[in-house]
Amino acid sequence: MKVSGTIRVPGDKSISHRSLILSALAEGESVVSGILDSEDVRSTAGVLAALGADIPPFSDTMCVRGKGLRSLRQSRKPLDCGNSGTTTRLMAGVVAAHPFSATFVGDASLSRRPMKRVSEPLTYMGARVEFEHGDGLPMTIHGVDLRSIDWDTRAASAQVKSAILLAGLVSGVEVRVTEKSPSRDHTERMLRAMGVDVENDRNQICLRPARRLTPVDIAVPGDPSSAAFFVALAALASSGDLRLTEVCLNPTRTGFIEALRRMGAAVAADRIVSRAGEEVGDVRIEPARLNGTRVTGEQVPALIDELPLLACVAAGAGVELEITGAAELRVKESDRINTVVQNLRAVGASADELPDGLRVTPGRRDLAGSIDPRGDHRIAMAFGVLSAATGNRITVQNPECVAVSYPGFWNDLRRVTAA
C-alpha cells in the first residue's frame, strides 16, 4: 500500500469541548475557530444552550458571548449528553456549583459508563448527587455553594480532574487535585490563558479562586487522537509519506507517537508554535519496519484513546505488543479490551485479553473478515486503518459511528490511499 498527501485532521475534541464551556463562562466574547463539528461536541453545545448559554450555530468561526461564571440557568428538561462522557463529567462540575438541579441523560452506551468517580468529589464539596440505578445515567445533581477540596483521584483522569477544577472555578473556592500520574492538561492550559491562577506541580494541580474568566480567541488545533490513525497508516505502508498539519502536540497527548517511535517508526514534527498555551505543529511520517513493544501503566494516560489502534498496528506489522495498566479501557464507549481482542481474532490475528490490558503476538499477515466495533468510533477507525494496510479485506460494520469524533474519516482514508 502506498500513501501520499497532506491532511489537516479535524479540531481536537478535548479542546473543542473546553473552548465552548469556558467561553460560555467568560465575561464577553470569545472567538473559537476550527472547532470540531462532531456529535460529542454538539452534545456539549446542546447542554450549554439548554442551560441558557448563548451558543451560536456551528461554523468555522464561532463567536461565543459569555455571561460570567454563574450565569447558567436551570433547564426545563434533562441534559442530553448523547454519547459524550466529557460533556457529562465536565458539565457535572459546572452544574454542581450553580444553585439549581439538573438531570444528565445519555444514550445506552454512555448510560453504562461509571459516574461515581465524579459524583464522589462533588458530593464531598457539598453537592447532592442521585442515581436512578447503579452509578450510571440518569444522574441528578443538586447544586450549591461548594466548599474547597483536596482530592486524590487515585488514577489519571482528565475528566474527573476537570470536573473538580470547574466546580472550584464557578464556586470561587480553592481546589487541589492529586493524580497517580499526569493526565491531559488542556483544562489547566486554557484556564491559565483566560487569566486563572492554576499551578501544576508534577501530579498535583491547584486552582485558586478567580473572579472572572477573560474571553480569548481560541484556534483549535488538529486532534492528535485523530491524527494517530494516519500516523499508523503511513507507518504500515510500503511506500510514500504523509504530512499532517497543525496537530496539537501537547506532551500529555503524544504517547502514541512515542510508542511508534519505540517500535521504529519514522515520525518527525516541525513548524512547532505555541497557541493559547498549546504546542501545535506538523507531523511527517514515512513507512518503516516496525518492532514489538510494551506499554505499561505509567505510559497509558498519554495514549489511552490510541491503544486500540496500537493493537491493530502490531497485528498489521506482525509484531508482539503487550499493554498493561489499562483497565480504564473496559469502561470506555465499549469494553475496548474485549472489543479489540475479539475483532482481531475475527480477522485472523493472534490476540489475548489481560485483566488490565491485552497481548498481540505475531501470527497471520493475510487478515480478512468482518468486525463489529460495537458502536465505538475509535475501534471502527482502528480497523479501517488495519484494513487499508492489509489489502482492504476487512469489513467494518456500522462505519457511520465514526461521526462521534471524525465525520470525514472514511473520505480522508480513501484520499491518501488512492494512488
Which SS3 state, helix, strand or coil, does residue 212 take? coil
For residue 269, give the amino acid letter.
A
Report the 10 Å Cβ neighbour count for 273. 11
Mean pLDDT (the chain, rounded): 96
Sorting pLDDT into bands at 50, 70 and 90, what band is 325?
very high
State how far the Cα of 185 lies from the Cα of 167, in Å rounded to an integer.
Answer: 16
Which SS3 state, helix, strand or coil, does residue 70 take? coil
320 within 8 A of 360, measured Cβ to Cβ: yes
Above 90 in pLDDT, residue 150?
yes
State how far the Cα of 159 lies from the Cα of 168, in Å rounded to an integer.
Answer: 14
Beta bridge partners of 102: 141
Give me the mean pLDDT over the 254-264 stretch.
97
Above 90 in pLDDT, residue 363?
no
Pairing of the two strands 61-67 and 27-33 = antiparallel
Give me the mean pLDDT over the 69-80 stretch.
97
Sheet of strand 79-80, all strands in order from the earlier edge strand to the far edge: 79-80, 101-105, 139-142, 128-131
Least confident of 277-291, 320-334, 371-385: 320-334
State how far the Cα of 369 lies from the Cα of 222, in Å rounded to an integer.
Answer: 32
Give me the mean pLDDT over the 110-128 stretch.
96
Helix (H) or strand (E) holding 172: none
Sheet of strand 239-248, all strands in order from the earlier edge strand to the far edge: 2-7, 239-248, 278-286, 266-275
Report the 10 Å Cβ neighbour count for 280. 21
Q: Which residues are catalytic?
A: 305
How many helices (H) and strands (E) the chain has is answered by: 13, 21
Which pLDDT tens digit goes with each residue over 281-298?
A: 999 999 999 999 999 998
The H-assigned helical ranges of 152-223 are 158-171, 186-193
Please tell me the predicted confidence (pLDDT) of residue 54.
97
Above 70 in pLDDT, residue 221?
yes
Report the 10 Å Cβ neighbour count for 281. 19
Give me the mean pLDDT over the 36-59 stretch.
97
* Placement of cell 463567536 in the chain: 63
Beta bridge partners of 23: none
**Nine-digit cell string for 194:** 483566560
State how far the Cα of 6 lies from the Cα of 343, in Å rounded to an integer.
Answer: 30
Q: Which residue has the higher pLDDT, 263 or 154?
A: 263
Task: Determine the Cα angle at 236 with ends 38 and 330, to 5°.
Answer: 50
Report the 10 Å Cβ neighbour count for 419. 11
Nearest Cα residue to 89 out of 146, 154, 40, 162:
162
Please tell me the predicted confidence (pLDDT) of residue 39.
92
